Structure 1
């Protein structure tokens, strides 16, 4: 689902949030009314009664009366090729909370390497960037990516390095992302 402020929701319980764009953690109380801004990749971007934009993690979907996400396009197997396919698939579920495009199509993921360490167990190294070096949501996106990849079968260890060289530009976005954002 993707929508801009079309659905008002009364929080069903206290919930932890992350303020956008600075990444500051906070919380909202049960009964607070929020407007759903974006629901992509299992996380929810909402606007509070005070007009603040915040992100609610997918594992707190119940506070919004929603279901947590299920990723259904994963392949079976713990060999490096299967793990790499699954890594790219879960990275496509990570969205910038302000932009309705996943981090892969935004061009933020530069490299993914899967290295077998023993039978059925692999280390995953990812190099990624952010749309801007001072992005307050950077640590949140990095954590989301790491947690998603760590949850995959056959993954032993995940290392995500955030780099700023080369700097991100719109040219790194996929054609799908550019079309989605009306840039072509």
Structure 2
């Protein structure tokens, strides 16, 4: 598996603390770029809202997860606001997870 694939897999372990679904399934991660020679990863992502009170925690969790990938020693996370996130960016797995929790009394 390529380093980039390993990073995507690691990011699936980062849970949005307010929604309880991983940031990849939510569609918050827009791009992953890797410079294998430098051991550097650049992550471009957004949050569900620009004023997210847990932004620092989420970014720190992204950095920690990415640095856990063999071959990565440096991570840069860029928060971007265009394109704006909307629920349409979620994949089916995220929708089903949220839907199943709403059905629980």
How far did residue 111 of structure 1 move? 0.3
**Aligned structure 1 segments of 4 or more residues deviating by more than 2 angstroms:** none
Structure ID, larger Rg? 1
User: What TM-score does the superposition give when structure 2 sets the normalisation length?
Assistant: 0.88
| CA-based RMSD | 1.5
After superposition, the C-alpha distances for 1:4-29 in whole angstroms (9 at most, x for unaligned) are xxxxxxxxxxxxxxxxxxxxxxxxxx
Segments of 5+ residues of structure 1 without an aligned counterpart are: 1-74, 76-80
After superposition, the C-alpha distances for 1:55-108 in whole angstroms (9 at most, x for unaligned) are xxxxxxxxxxxxxxxxxxxx6xxxxx2x11111111001111121210000000
After superposition, the C-alpha distances for 1:120-156 in whole angstroms (9 at most, x for unaligned) are x521111000000000101110011001111221013
Q: Per chain length, whose mean CA-contact separation is higher, i.e. which structure has more relative contact order (CA < 8 Å, sep 6+)?
A: 2
User: What TM-score does the superposition give when structure 1 sets the normalisation length?
Assistant: 0.52
Structure that is richer in helix per residue = 2
Select which of 28, 42, 47 maps to 1:130: 47
**How many residue pairs end up in the alignment?**
100
Structure that is richer in strand per residue = 1
